[in-house]
Amino acid sequence: MFWRLSIVDQAGGKQPMMSADGAVAVLFNGEIYNYRALRSELATRGYAFRSSSDTEVILAAYETWGRECFERLEGMFAVCVIDERANRIVLARDRLGVKPLYFQRDAAGLRVASEQKALLAWSGASPQIDRGSVLRYLVFQTILGTRTLFRGVAKVPAGHVLEFDFHTRLLVGAHRIAPTRTQLPGHDYDEYAEAVRQCVTEHVRLALDTEHPWCMHLSGGLDSNLLLGLARRLDPAREIVCVSSLVGGETDPEWPLIRESAERQRVRLRVATIDEAAFFGVLDEAIFYLDEPVGDPGVVAQFIVDRMAAEESKVVFSGQGADEMFFGYVRNLAAYLLAIGALRPGGPGLHENAREFLRGWEGFLDAMMATGDASVEFAYFRKLCRFDPFAPADDASPEFVDGLRELALETYLELLAQSDSLHDFMLRAETRIQLPALLQMEDRASMRYSLEARVPLCTTSVLDLASAAQLDWKFRDGCPKGVLRDVFRDVVPEHVLRRKAKVGRPIPLGAWLRGARADAYLEPLRDKKELFAELTGMDFVGYALGRRGPYDRSAWAALSLAKWIDLYRVSV
Residue type, 362: E
Residue 4: per-residue pLDDT: 45
Residue 501: per-residue pLDDT: 66
DSSP 356-401: HHHTT-HHHHHHHHHHHTT-HHHHHHHHH-SS-TTS--TT--HHHH
| Alpha carbon separation from 537 to 95, 314, 393, 396, 565 (Å, rounded) | 36, 46, 11, 6, 19
Residue 409: per-residue pLDDT: 93
Q: Show pLDDT as tens, one digit a residue, over the chain (572 residues).
A: 445 455 555 555 577 899 999 999 999 999 999 999 999 999 999 999 998 899 999 999 999 999 999 999 999 999 999 999 999 999 999 999 999 999 999 888 899 999 999 999 887 778 999 998 998 898 888 898 899 999 999 999 999 999 999 999 999 999 999 887 667 776 899 999 999 999 999 999 999 988 889 999 999 999 999 999 999 999 999 999 999 999 999 999 999 999 999 999 999 999 999 999 999 999 999 999 999 999 899 999 999 999 999 999 999 999 999 999 999 999 999 999 999 988 776 667 778 888 888 887 777 788 788 775 668 999 999 999 888 888 766 667 788 888 889 999 999 999 999 999 999 999 999 999 999 999 999 999 999 999 999 999 999 999 999 999 999 999 999 999 999 999 999 999 999 998 876 655 689 998 999 999 999 999 999 889 999 888 888 888 888 888 766 667 888 999 999 999 999 999 98
What's the rounded Cα separation, in Å, for the pair 343 and 482? 19
HEC assignment per residue over 227-291: HHHHHHHHCCCCCEEEEEEEECCCCCCCHHHHHHHHHHCCEEEEEEEECHHHHHHHHHHHHHHHC
Give every CB contact of residue 428 below 8 A, 6+ residues apart in sequence. 415, 418, 419
pTM above 0.95, yes or no: no
What's the rounded Cα separation, in Å, for the pair 13 and 11? 6
Provide the greatest CA pair distance for the chain: 72
Domain architecture of the chain: domains with CATH: 17-176 (3.60.20.10), 189-325+430-497 (3.40.50.620), 327-413 (no CATH), 509-568 (no CATH)
- Going by C-alpha positions, the residue among 406, 410, 344 that lies closest to residue 376 is 344
Beta-strand (E) ranges in 428-529? Answer: 452-454
Q: Which DSSP letter does residue 297 get?
A: T
What's the rounded Cα separation, in Å, for the pair 214 and 451? 10
Residue 2: per-residue pLDDT: 43
